Structure 1
Amino acid sequence: MLTLDQVTRTIQQVPSLSVVVMETLASFDMPHFETADLAKKLNQDQGLTARVLRVANSPFYGMSSKVGSVQEAVVVLGFHNVRSLVAAAGIISQFPETGLPGFDRTGFWQHGIGTAACAQVLAKSLGQNQALAFTAGLLHDIGKLALDAYFHDDFQLALAHSADEDITLLNAESITLGVDHTQVGHELARRWKFPAVIQLAIRDHHQPERESGTLTDLVHVANVLCHALDIGNAGYDLIPHLSSSAWSRLGLDWKTMPALWTETEQQYVGLSLLISD
């Protein structure tokens, strides 16, 4: 069994995010952060720039000419989307494949990208901060990656227990490890100095009854919808319980869901290029 103190000490070994990603995340709270600022930062990291341009040049966006700069990508995708892509691409590259068996990294990121797209679409429909929703959705399960990377054998036990007993991975982690991925993800988000609302969304996305805020509710609903529609692989097959309280607080209506989901699927197609080689 693990303790949260043990996990916290180990997480201190996780490399810091790049300066570009950290400053991009910090800019979510800066109303006057503009395209020129973003382009200047991206010029410091050609790898990130290449990933963002790959998405902008995907057939999904139907551009007749090649997008060759961050400024052009902003025209195609929108400033807020490009900024979110920068953060996402930087964080995804932080956890390269380990080569160890048992955890589907590609499926994990597919689920994260689906949840990010869904959270962003929901946020847009409700007039909430789309960049925060996207990033929190992408990272809601980041604790699983930390567990797989730093406590691989223990995490394998949790995955096996979830499959054998047909229970959620969250419950299996609590039983076999003594800690779960929401706690680990919260500690990692603190380590990386994410905005406080993202930290809470990661911690409470399975427990929106803690009422930690609108962002948590958005990520909770987006996560459940992506499980229900089998987007990616979150490590288990059960669909988590949908909180009626979170749904009501957001003021969502099932009648609007088909249109919102169509938009989510469209976003997902382009964003999936972030994890392709």
Structure 2
Amino acid sequence: MSTDIRFTDFKSDKQPTWCPGCGDFGTMNGMMKALANTGNDPDNTFVVAGIGCSGKIGTYMHSYALHGVHGRALPVGIGAKLANPNLEVMVAGGDGDGYSIGAGHFIHAVRRNVDMTYVVMDNRIYGLTKGQASPTSREDFETSTTPEGPKQPPVNPLALALAAGGTFIAQSFSSDSQRHTEIVQKAVEHDGFGFVNVYSPCVTFNDVDTYDYFRDTIVDLAETDHDPTAYDDATDMIMDGNKEYQGVLYQDEHSVAYEEREGLSDNMAVIPDGAPDNATNLVREFY
């Protein structure tokens, strides 16, 4: 890993098409800063995304990237990491992509504990398809397709991760640039599956879970005496659906990544004989 990498090295020349004010801008900036702070190089970084407003994040970042299908970003990231354990793999998604159609992959990715990072931009709505209720929407959240609300409790992604045996469970707020970067950086540095659920407000379709709402309600664990290695305390916090926490809620300090447990260290991703010299550049440009 290089020590000369800067945040701007992870910026591509493509301009994001997100709505002005979208929380995903801050989420992506924190991801790039975290990668740079940990000394990762764009040429050794693979960003995978699924479908949703977050889906084109790999286009907006300068690294190897793949824009996959709905809910399937995690198995692609796992496959790449196991094929080349020396690759830095970061998977990005949204609450719809990760906690609805991708929920099964999410649970199994957590329990496998592959050494990679999963950043979910949780805006509590389906933004790309014009504002339907998502798995994390409030029970009374009124939308065009749920005029009286979904009438079902929202998914608690932190609880899902804990129940699946998560070794790093955290939450951040895209507008709090410094803390968001710190939290994602800790996830990258974690030996195992680093999961960060990010409050990433949708300014177009969600007028409930706004920047002001999160600023007024977030409890930052950095300002408390919370010990993230205390499993029981973390469980109590994660199961408390009445508070919005920011910080690392749980981290297993004895975590051993899947690759280390299985003795995987060799790069199995080899360009076939006869491939053109610029094959890797062609792959980068294609995706």
Could you say whether these structures have the same fold, taking a TM-score greater than 0.5 normalized by the shorter chain as the test? no
**Higher relative strand content:** 2
For normalisation by structure 1, the TM-score amounts to: 0.29
For normalisation by structure 2, the TM-score amounts to: 0.28
Q: Which has the higher contact order (CA 8 A, sep 6+)?
A: 1
